[in-house]
Chain A
């Protein structure tokens, strides 16, 4: 048992090194700060002419979504991005939501949109779908 414990310690040490190396190679693999470009629901509701995007999975969107929201997620980017270009007016804000506070999908979609559209006015909704539910703006999944 003592041997197993020592080996465990060695494995943990080696894993820590590998983890640190992984961070050194890809420090941006996970976002370091979520508060950047995050917007509260109350503030988002005040944005004039805002376009709302649903970054959840296709099945979630099909089940229920905010009225007027378009589907755009990383899995089917092209399928969602082309319709977005048809309706988006340059200069108008975009609000992206995903499932909850812990969801990062909206941050990833918002960041990619800022890059591809060349605008800074793309926000990630704080609280996501859960915040919309609590505010009574959407109903629980129909399924």
Chain B
């Protein structure tokens, strides 16, 4: 399998995850809003804006990762979103919150095990994107004079 195909598969898997997550959120924005509020970090108005914006971002990122359009930007945003999410989950664990992550609909985080599993899942996605980026970069050679 060529490096190019391998990196595409990794991007596609992560893109698929984001696409499904967005689909669930778009279907029931109020449930997602409810989940965001359990993080106890967003005000109601901030969570309301995120309830519309986050699924839209996930849809665009998923499309870009799978199709290859603006893929590097999508990969960068994916890494940022996953790190942010891991941070948000970690703060919930440290504060002893009972959260609903809102990732794929109802997903209660109550025990330390739940939190660690959720962070682990996102770490795997993070490694997949970072790996795909590295493989893609190596297979293409250095970027053209882009900065």
A interface, CB within 8 angstroms of B: 1-12, 14-16, 18-20, 22-23, 26, 29-32, 34, 57, 100-105, 108
Contact = CB atoms under 8 A, between A and B. Distances in A.
A8 B76 CA distance: 7
Given A2-B146, A3-B147, A18 B106 contact: no
B33 A104 contact: yes
A116 B57 CA distance: 36
Interface residues of B, number: 35
Contacts of B147: 1-3
Contact of A11 (B49, B57, B98, B106): B57
17 contacts: A1-B147, A3-B72, A4-B73, A10-B73, A11-B57, A12-B57, A15-B56, A15-B59, A15-B61, A19-B49, A29-B29, A29-B30, A31-B30, A102-B37, A104-B31, A104-B33, A108-B30
Contacts of B6: none
Nearest 5 A/B pairs, CB to CB: A7-B73, A2-B147, A102-B37, A18-B56, A4-B72
A14 B60 contact: yes
A23 B34 contact: no
Nearest to A3: B146
Contacts of B26: 22
A12 B60 CA distance: 9
A11 B74 contact: yes
Nearest to B64: A11
Interface centre among A7, A12, A26, A104 (most CB of B within 10 A): A7
A13 to B, nearest CB: 10
A25 B64 CA distance: 24
B19 to A, nearest CB: 14
Instruction: Kindly name the residue among B29, B52, B60 whose own CB sees the greatest number of chain A CB atoms within 10 A.
Output: B52
